[in-house]
Amino acid sequence: MAQFFYHTLTGQIILMLLETLAVLVPLLIAVAYLTLMERKVMAAMQRRRGPNVNGPFGMFQAFADAIKMITKETVIPAGANRALFLFAPFLTFSLAMLAWAVIPTGNGLAVADINVGILYLLAISSLGVYGILIAGWASNSRYAFLGGLRSAAQMVSYEVSIGLVIVSVLLAVGSLNLNDIVLAQRHIWFCVPMFPMFIVFFISALAETNRAPFDLPEGESELVAGFFVEYSSLAFGLFFLGEYANMILMSGMISILFLGGWLPPLGLAPFTWVPGPLWLIFKILFCLFVFIWIRATFPRFRYDQLMRLGWKVFLPLSLVWMIATAGFLMATGLLPQVGGVN
């Protein structure tokens, strides 16, 4: 039976489907309960109860919300482009799922352990803005269109900084493989020697996922709801799920690039008994908690403040840090050979 799976095309396809389901099913459940976690954490910070009616401790609230969105009527504006209007949320949700193909949960444990995994993630995250742009244009609404344009400008501003931060990490590793990036942090996590870049990447991740205080594309006070103002029912639900799936994805990227991925702190013996995937989950949950903490604490930035932060602060800082990192590694002879961690 094992030889059938490994040596036949049908078996390989079945294995690939099982691996995909093993990633997507827990991810979808995690997205559902992330919404509950956010409401509970924000309720605790703001001294209110949060969801507590559906199920014990409100545990079934996520399922109640899903059923409500699925059963409501999908309303399409009369002047909208129907095909693109329905394609946009599907694109956003699909890209958020596809990015997880290269995320390693352990040493070599990934659906696709490719040598250019970080480039794959950059490409997928960059494509995500197309779903928002298409939604803004196809809705035939000025508010939605302005939200889409804001998202495009915001993505361009922070994608450049994120790219330069990742280049700084790659200079220290010598490989584009995510598994190698994690293994390079066996002795010290990159958040320690690259702490300024860790902060830049984290804040840029907030802007990349349109999270408060950088939720300008939605901007309820100016744009009603931004790019998805005309969406309802399951189409809105796909945008909703895509945003929270992107939050988990960016938290996973932060954990892999700066927090040692599945590795325990400093490789200390008392922590090595915990399985690697659990360490990655703990780190992702910590990053998500900080995402929610920031949303509950800071007011929304003005748009000019957002652009100034991206172009006048993060871009020069990340560029100077990248050049300084390359110079330091070359001067000390620590620049790794291309091909990964030895």
Give the Cα separation of 176 and 114 in Å (integer): 9
Contact between residue 280 and residue 252 where contact means Cβ atoms under 8 Å apart: yes
pLDDT at 342: 43
pLDDT at 270: 59
Helix (H), strand (E) at residue 236: helix 233-258
Dump pLDDT digits (tens) for 166-205: 999 999 998 899 999 999 998 889 999 999 999 999 999 9
Confidence of residue 55 (pLDDT cuts 50, 70, 90): confident
Contacts of 318 (CB under 8 A, 6+ apart): 161, 164, 165, 168, 197, 200
Give the Cα separation of 89 and 242 in Å (integer): 8
**Distances from the Cα of 102 to the Cαs of 116, 181, 185, in angstroms?**
9, 13, 18
Give the Cα separation of 220 and 229 in Å (integer): 9
Beta-strand ranges (E) seen in 100-159 are none
254 Ramachandran zone, left/alpha/beta (phi>0; psi -120 to 50): alpha
Contact between residue 179 and residue 118 where contact means Cβ atoms under 8 Å apart: no
Contact between residue 144 and residue 94 where contact means Cβ atoms under 8 Å apart: no
DSSP state of 309: I
> Which amino acid does the sequence have at 189?
W
Taking 3-state DSSP, the helix, strand and coil percentages for the chain, each rounded to the nearest 5, stand at: 70, 0, 30
Q: Residues 143-172: what's their mean pLDDT?
A: 87
Give the Cα separation of 197 and 322 in Å (integer): 9
Confidence of residue 224 (pLDDT cuts 50, 70, 90): low
Give the Cα separation of 301 and 154 in Å (integer): 12
Share of the chain above pLDDT 90, in %: 29
Most confident of 49-58, 202-211, 220-229, 284-293: 284-293
- Pick the more confident residue, 291 or 266: 291
- Retrieve residue 28's tokens: 């979808």
Average pLDDT, the chain: 85
Closest CA to 259 of 184, 342, 174: 184
User: Kindly report the CA angle at 164 between 162 and 168, in degrees rounded to 5?
Assistant: 115
Please state the separation of Cα 274 from the chain's center in Å: 25
Domains of the chain, residue spans: 31-50+68-332
pLDDT higher than 60, residue 56: yes
Dump pLDDT digits (tens) for 73-98: 888 888 888 899 989 999 988 888 88
Instruction: For residue 213, say if its preceding peptide bond is cis, omega within 30 degrees of 0.
Output: yes
> Which amino acid does the sequence have at 166?
I
pLDDT higher than 60, residue 6: no
Contact between residue 185 and residue 263 where contact means Cβ atoms under 8 Å apart: yes
DSSP state of 265: G
Residue burial 180-191, b: 16+ Cβ < 10 Å; e: rest: bbbbbbeeebbb
- Retrieve residue 98's tokens: 């596809």
Q: Residues 43-64: what's their mean pLDDT?
A: 86
- Pick the more confident residue, 50 or 311: 311
Confidence of residue 153 (pLDDT cuts 50, 70, 90): confident
Contact between residue 23 and residue 100 where contact means Cβ atoms under 8 Å apart: yes
pLDDT at 4: 52
- Pick the more confident residue, 173 or 224: 173
Of the listed ranges 142-151, 219-228, 240-249, 284-293, the one predicted with least confidence = 219-228
pLDDT at 222: 62
Dump pLDDT digits (tens) for 126-150: 888 888 889 888 988 888 888 888 8
Dump pLDDT digits (tens) for 236-284: 888 888 889 999 999 999 999 999 998 888 765 556 677 888 999 999 9
- Pick the more confident residue, 29 or 1: 29
Please state the separation of Cα 266 from the chain's center in Å: 25
pLDDT at 340: 45
